[in-house]
Structures are given as structure tokens and as C-alpha cells.
Amino acid sequence: MSRAHPALPRLGAEFRAGQLSRREFLTRATALGAGAGLLGALGLPRPASAQSAPKRRRGGTLRIQQDVRALKDPRTADWPHIANVTRGWLEYLVEYRPDGSIRGMLLSDWEVNDDATEYLLTVRPGVLWSDGKAFTAEDVLRMFDYWCDGSVPGNVMSASLSSLVDPETQRLREGAVSLAPDGRLRVRPARPDVTLMVALADYPAAVIPPGFDPETMLEAPVGTGPYRPETIRTGEIAVLVRREGFEWWGEKVPGFGPATLDRVEFIDLGSDPASWVAAIEEDRVDMLYENVGRFIDAATELGWDSAEVQTSATVVLRGNQEAKVGGRPLYADARLRRGLALAIDNGICLELGYGNRGEVAANHHVAPIQPDYADIGPARYNPSQGRALIVQSGKISVEHEVVTLDDGVARRTGEAVVALLLDAGIPARQQVLPGSRFWANWKAFPLSITEWNHRPLGVQTLTLAYRSNAVWNESAYANPAFDAALDEARALADAEERAEVMARLETMLVEDAVIVQPYWRSLFRHYRPGLVGAEMHPAFEIHLYQLGWAED
């Protein structure tokens, strides 16, 4: 193995030739183990430095508007809101940064061999659990066993780390992760896997202590982070306070500490953005989880600072191919799905659903911002042909009920979808549900619009959402050819080779009309002037250790 991965010179050449954006380059280079020092020595782009941020004063309370959802076993977490709360004490091996780079947290370093079939992970020295015990390589070994347990309902990490999972036992494959003689962890995927490090940065990958029980996780919370939970009431408030007498590892590592806030409050104000702006006016919050639509301008007019980031976050209209409507799996009919897709103008959905604050998408859920994107052309829009296909299917009299969350994005996009279908002569109506009802059943609705968050690589999203029997496969899509091509794409480090496979994957999703995925969202956040570290993260992550109030 080499500190300078063999792929790095090629990636550098592609960047200089304009074939890779800075974000794409950093995601791929850092996932292969290239650190800031090496990249700088080679004259290549380095991750953004945290050293230029304004200094923060010690102390203070921060009030964040955010849904407060029930905590659960982290590997089964299905919303970033959950992880934003637990991130105060349950940290990660690596962290995905807004500029696209990956940096070590509980790992200080990693190396990858030429074909991504062996990783060497170095545990950061000096890390302690909050009960005073040392964080060790044995803890990391234990975590891989925990993540790769496919028998746990809702465990998405077993899919993300499928190259380490024994398909027969649905557990960590024997020999996949072991302790090396020098104290590092040796990780050996069953096949080349260039997605490993980005998977470890995803929000369900929180590192838990020995003896962790999700049922009692708040009774005596142990973690490696600088905060501890004080109060958590689902749908109301979550309060974290800084641990006293605990030496957090990040205090001594450049770019991390100190964690300055005494107290962080996540305040649930519901899904109506008007209530968020009202809370600004009434001095009840200091930072928004996000802001949307016309309320972006409203918050700016109130004098708050704003941040915007381009992402692969999106909304998806999908028919569940197994859900029954009137006793039959209505959306199992590909002609019906194709007809609906042809009747929907993605540009109109972006305009009416999200105020043109993003980019039109092409119904395959891989974004131009992601390094493994392949351009297969725009989505087709032909409402007369779409209606004709539905007539051919014998289902033109069916009224399609589009279920959406009662919020500012999915709801408006649903309104646009229903209007387009009606304009095409296809019966449709919208059902709007409050968050508690929508989230409890989001995978089972026959036809609904779901919000999907940004991930560094397109293959990550495809693995979680469209692989046969995946935990988050809300469309119930099952295609062995797609699964095989997905495994092939995850194994390819070469961008051009992977783009060819990705083009096949994207084409399958479009031709099978699995989804209507109309646009990519730019994300917006507003926060009180004087707050440091509150910039919008593409994956909605809130890193509490970097937040604080600027020195006077």
C-alpha cells in the first residue's frame, strides 16, 4: 500500500483538464485516503480549512428549529434529524464535509490498496468514552459486526456495507475485518468497493459504546462526543448540554475543537415554514434546520444570515409495485408507470414545487454533482402519449391518490403533479398528511412523494433505494440485472468505466419508470448574525462541535 494512492495522479489530471469539479475530486481523493497534506504537496485541491472561521467564545445556548423525532438504534435511523441530536455524544469514524471531502474523526487515517479490496484503518489515539474507558481498535471491530447484522429490521448499514456481509448468514463475513499486527484494522471487502469510506460517513453509521441498548440509550448515555442528552421529548424539544469534567478528543485536534456551547436546544415547530419565520420574529430560535420557498426571502428581510448549497437532495414520486389498490397491485403495471412519467413535466414541478431553486432532474436519482453521474439525457415529457399508455393498460378510469407530507416542498410538488396529471386527462387527487402519519407509513403508500437527502455517491442512493429488498426500497423495485450492475459499479474506481455502468443503471430506472424524480434541490438555511459554524451542510448534518457564538 502507498500513502499516494495509484489513482491520485489520474484524478489530478482529470481535475486539471476540467473533467472533475473540485467537489467531485475531493470526494474521490479523500475516500481513497489522500489527506490534505499530500494533496497540497502535489499541488492539488485541499479540503477547506476550518482555521479561517471566526473565533467562538465559550458558553451560551443555541436554539435550533428542527423536527424532534423518536430516537432509535442508530443503524436503523431513517431521518437525519435523529442523527443531529445523537451526534452530540455518538460520533463517527469519518465525517463528510460540505466541500465534498471526507476527513477522519474517530479514525485518524486510512489507506486503500490499488483495487479497493483492502483498507487499513488507523484509530485516533487518545479518544475516550465518556465513562473514562479508552476507545480502541476493538471498538471499531465490534462496530463492523454491529453494522453488518442483516437480521436487524431496518438496518440500512448492512446494505451500505454489503461487500463485507456473508450473503448466507447475513452477518459480517469471517475474515472481512481483522486486527493487523501494527494495531490497525484490516478491512477486506469480498469484491472491490470504493464506497466503503463514504458509507461510514452516512448518518446511520454512528459509533455506539459496548453494551448499547436502544431501549435504554438515554438512561446513562455513553459516547465519545462532548455533549450529553438532558431532555428529549418527541415532537417537542431535545436538549443537549456540554459534559463537565470530560476531556473530549477534539479539543486537541486542529479543525475540531473546542466545543464551546453550554447548551443546545432542538425545538420542534412542525412542518409549516410560516411557523419557523414567526419564531425568528418572536426571538424563539437562533437557527433553522432549513428554509424553503418564499420564506427564504422573508427570513433574509428580517436580517438573518443565509447559506445555500447545491446538493443531490430531491423529492421522488413513486408507485409501490407491491401495494394493493382495490385488491390488486396497481403500480406493478409498467405501462401505467410509464404513462404517469410521460404526463409529468419535471421543469414545471421545479417551478411550482420548489420555486426554481434547483436543477431539473431526469427520473433516475443520480445527480450531476455526484462523481458517478452519467448523462443519459433529459426526461421525456409527452402527456398525450402518457395518457394513451394508461388507456392501453385498461386503467384510465383509476383515480391516482398522491400522498404527500404537509410541508413546504413535497406538498407543493404534489400539487404540481396532480395538476399535470389532470391536464393530461388522467384522474388524480392529493392526500396531505401530517408528519406523524406520513413518517409512520412512508414506505407503504401505493403512490406518494418522499424526500430523499444528499449522498456523496449515486451508487449509495441506488443501493439504499432500488436494490431488490433493500430496507428503504419504497418502490418495491426488484430487478436482478439492476442489482448485478449495481455491484459492478460499486467495484469500479475508474470514473470512465463506472460512468458506463451507471448509464446502464440510470437507463434501467428510466425505462422501467420506477420513479418520477423531477428536480435536484439547492438547500437553504438561515441563522442569527454572530453564530459561527452554521453553514448549510448538503446532507442536513449539524456538527455541534463547530457551532458557537462569535467573540465580541
Half-sphere exposure in the Cβ direction for 303 (13 Å, CA): 5
Whether 446 maps to a domain, the answer reads yes
**Looking at the structure, do residues 358 and 501 belong to the same domain, yes or no?**
yes
| pLDDT of amino acid 41 | 64
Q: What distance in Å separates the CA atoms of residue 183 and residue 201, rounded to the nearest whole number?
A: 22
What's residue 382's pLDDT?
98
Identify the bridge partners of residue 421 per DSSP, sorted by sequence position: none
Domain assignment present for residue 357? The answer is yes
pTM score, two decimals? 0.92
**Domain range spanning residue 319?**
310-521
pLDDT for the residue numbered 2: 39
The reply to whether 326 falls in a domain is yes
* Residues 187 and 179: beta-carbon distance below 8 Å: no
User: How confident is the model over 353-405, as pLDDT tens digits?
Assistant: 999 999 999 999 999 999 889 999 999 999 999 999 999 999 999 999 999 99
Q: Which residue has the cell 475508474?
A: 494
Backbone φ, ψ for residue 431 (5° rounding)? -115, 120
Residues 358 and 503 grouped into a single domain: yes
- Within this chain, do residues 320 and 199 fall inside the same structural domain, yes or no? no
How many domains is the chain partitioned into structurally? 2
- Interhelix angle 480-490/495-511, rounded to 10 degrees, is 160
CATH code of 402's domain: 3.10.105.10
CATH number of residue 148's parent domain: 3.90.76.10
For residues 43 and 124, the answer to whether their CB atoms sit within 8 Å is no
What is the rounded distance in angstroms from the CA atom of residue 31 to the CA atom of residue 235? 36
Same domain, 193 and 325: no
Structure-block grid coordinates of residue 459: 451508487
Asked whether the bond before 258 is cis by omega within 30 degrees of 0, the reply is: yes
Quote the Cα angle for 501-505-507, to 5°.
115
The predicted pLDDT at position 38 comes to: 74
Dmax (CA) of the chain: 71
Strands 177-179, 185-187: pairing kind = antiparallel
* Segments in the chain below pLDDT 70: 1-4, 41-42, 49-53, 495
Counting every residue, how long is the chain? 552
Same domain, 319 and 432: yes
Q: Specify the pLDDT at position 20.
A: 73
Q: From 156, 174, 205, give the residue that closes a domain.
A: 205
Indicate whether 26 and 169 sit together in one domain. yes
Packed helices 480-490 and 458-465: angle between N→C axes, nearest 10 degrees: 150
Task: Look at residues 175, 205, 235 and tell me which one is the last residue of a structural domain.
Answer: 205
